[in-house]
Amino acid sequence: MVDRDGRRVAGAASRPGESRRLGSRGRPPKPVVLVVDDDADARTIHAMSLRAKGCDVFTAKDGREALEKANALWPDVIVMDLAMPHVDGWEAIRRLNESSWTRKIPVVAVSAVPYSRQTALAAGCDAYLTKPCDPQILWTQVRTLLGLPDSGSDLQ
């Protein structure tokens, strides 16, 4: 299921023609978030904070792994570091936008390098945060991109 802007609704069908099963107690499943960062500490902090809010979180250590996992998982949101070895976040976002399966996945770009917000948005990111980013601010961005109301701050 998609909203009127063509973005997938969290917990809705994961691919055209499929439907997600309801989770426990008849609720939709947890939103799936892919956290991509070459810094293991940042990856862990982002993943833990989003899990604490009720998300199902997967991680990747670089853009190459992110592309593989994005195509396999089709996450609801991707949190992507921009400066990584091998395939960096910029290239990964470019490749995500080339695919009809992944181009509508919202991306929150995070970076310690001071890129401009406009440059990140023009490259296909839906939000931009500078590192270190506050876990609550990250959650606010993810929640907004998921189209979730601000009712009590978490999903649980």
User: Is 120 inside any structural domain?
Assistant: yes
- pLDDT string in tens for the chain (156-residue length): 444 444 455 554 444 323 344 445 555 678 999 999 999 999 999 999 999 999 999 999 999 999 999 999 999 999 999 999 989 999 999 999 999 989 999 999 999 887 778 888 999 999 999 999 999 999 999 999 999 887 555 555
What local confidence, expressed as pLDDT, does residue 20 receive? Answer: 44
Say if 10 falls within a structural domain.
no
Helices within the chain (DSSP H only): 40-52, 63-73, 89-98, 117-122, 135-146
Residue 156 lies in a domain: no
Q: Is 22 within a domain?
A: no
pLDDT of the residue at 73:
94
Q: What is the pLDDT of residue 127?
A: 95
DSSP conformational letter for 109: E
Task: Assess if residue 103 is contained within a domain.
Answer: yes
Task: For residue 53, give its domain range.
Answer: 32-145
For the domain that residue 134 is a member of, what is the CATH number?
Answer: 3.40.50.2300
The predicted structure's pLDDT at residue 62: 97
pLDDT at 28 (0 to 100): 63
Q: Residue 4: inside a domain, yes or no?
A: no
User: Which residue's structure tokens are 């969290």?
Assistant: 10
| Tally of domains in the chain | 1
In a domain, 68, yes or no: yes
Instruction: Give the number of other CB atoms < 10 A from CB of residue 154.
Output: 13
Q: What is the pLDDT of residue 152?
A: 53
| Residue 40 belongs to a domain | yes
Q: For residue 25, report the phi and psi dihedrals to the nearest 5 degrees.
A: 60, 25
What is the pLDDT at residue 26? Answer: 55
> Residue 36 has what pLDDT?
98
